[in-house]
Amino acid sequence: QVQLVESGGGLVQPGGSLRLSCAASGFTFSMYAMSWYRQAPGKEHELVAGISNTGSSTNYADSVKGRFTISRDNVKRTVYLQMNSLKPEDTAVYSCMTWVGRQWWGQGTQVTVSS
């Protein structure tokens, strides 16, 4: 059974940083691309960043380019999202996702950017 468990969310002031982690199990992690999504209240799920299975290719939403960095450690079976220069509009529940036969989602971690 595929399991994705996010951690690292919290309350941070504007301009601050957070590092999210997503620990994966139940599948051959190194064979699959991973993505981070976010959903703010009343808004659609938004793709934040994606990374290929080897980590050699990444992509980002325009709204986070230059501020967020996605990375992965295939030995630790974990994907990360380093978030810098956070803004109030980054406030959302952040979830990791992978496609192994179908979409699998973690439970999400809340990120709140507020002074």
pLDDT level of residue 4 (50, 70, 90 thresholds): very high
pLDDT the model gives residue 114: 96
**What pLDDT is recorded for position 64?**
98
Whole-number pLDDT of residue 80:
98
- Give 19's strand partners: 82
DSSP 8-state code for residue 26 = S
Question: What is the pLDDT at residue 46?
Answer: 96
Q: What is the pLDDT of residues 39-95, one digit of tens each?
A: 998 999 999 999 999 999 999 999 999 999 999 999 999 999 999 999 999 999 999
Question: Sheet holding 78-83: strands in order across?
Answer: 3-7, 18-25, 78-83, 68-73
Q: How far from chain centre, in Å, is Cα 24?
A: 12
Alpha-carbon distance 112 to 38, whole Å? Answer: 12
Q: Residues 96, 105: contact at Cβ < 8 Å?
A: yes
CB 21 within 8 A of CB 7: yes
Residue 79: predicted pLDDT: 98
Q: What percent of the chain has pLDDT over 70?
A: 100
Q: What is the mean pLDDT of the chain?
A: 97
Q: Which two tokens stand for residue 35?
A: 């993505």
